[in-house]
Amino acid sequence: MAIHLDWDDEHKRLILVRVDGRWTWGELERSLENAISMMDSVSHKVNFIIDIRNGQMDLGSALGQIQKAATPETHRNEGMKVVVGANRMIRSLYGAYRALIQSMGKDQEFHFADTIDEARAMIDSAGL
């Protein structure tokens, strides 16, 4: 599996998602289910650092899958999400994703950083 999720701190306030190699949409769906289970296991906000620097995706099916992955619900414990290593194309896809979910009444925001340390600093400065 190319997508790995782990708690990044002993207080379970940060999930580190690492993408290594080519991933599939099925793996993404299973990873989202795992993230929900992890958030369900605590009663506080959980932030995410999503490191995609070593990941590869099948862009040919991306736009069709974005709608499938987008849901109008936000998990009660969902905190800040910072993506590490997103290139210009990924950021453009995020723009399409955000427009889609906004049309569904949801405003899910992802932030972008170049390194994991920068992502941690962003979360820390937000007081989350």
- pLDDT at site 64: 57
Q: Could you tell me the two tokens for 113?
A: 């950083």
Give the pTM: 0.84
pLDDT score recorded for residue 97: 77
111/70 Cα distance (integer angstroms): 17
Helix or strand run (H / E) with residue 5 = strand 3-7
Judge whether 77 and 45 are in contact, CB under 8 Å.
Answer: yes
Q: Provide the residue range defining the domain that includes 79.
A: 3-125
- In this structure, are residues 6 and 40 in contact, taking their beta carbons and an 8 Å threshold? no
**Number of domains present in the structure of the chain:** 1
pLDDT for the residue 59: 59
The conformation of residue 61, written as its DSSP 8-state character, comes to G
Chain segment 26-45, per-residue pLDDT in tens: 888 899 899 999 999 999 99
Domain harbouring 18, CATH code: 3.30.750.24
Q: What is the pLDDT of residue 41?
A: 97
Cα end-to-end distance, the chain, whole Å: 29
* CA pair distance 95, 85, nearest whole angstrom: 16
- pLDDT at position 80: 94
